[in-house]
Amino acid sequence: MPLPRRFYRRPARAVARDLLGCVLASRRGSTITAGRIVETEAYLGPEDAASHAAFRPGSRALFYGEGGFAYIYLNYGIHCCLNAIAGRAGRPGCVLIRALEPTLGL
């Protein structure tokens, strides 16, 4: 069952903690894969030097919007990273989904 948008409209630290144990699933055609979220990282906006909101001008508008959207980017040209935008409009934050324990589709 998808999480409601209001789940993500909280501080990034709370969202990161509460995503642990949730299942992330995808469907591509008739193939379904899923995994339990076992590691997350909270990024707290422009004051957090590691946050894209601090140094990637093109992504800043997304971080300042309402929580509940996905932010996917290519890291080192080979890794796709999935983030959940967290917080209320005007208070940027996001949560990196860092690791999954595969549960379906291996």
The set of residues, in sequence order, having a beta carbon less than 8 Å from that of 18 and lying 6+ positions away, is 7
Note the pTM of the prediction, 2 decimals: 0.86
The whole-number average pLDDT for the span 89-98 is: 89
Please tell me the predicted confidence (pLDDT) of residue 48.
67
Question: Minimum mean pLDDT among 42-46, 64-68, 76-80, 83-87: which range?
Answer: 42-46
CA distance 6 to 34: 23
Contact, 42 vs 12, CB < 8 A?
A: yes
Tell me which architecture the domain covering 5-101 has in CATH.
Answer: Roll (3.10)
> Looking at the chain, how many residues does it have?
106
Where in the chain are the domains? Answer: 5-101
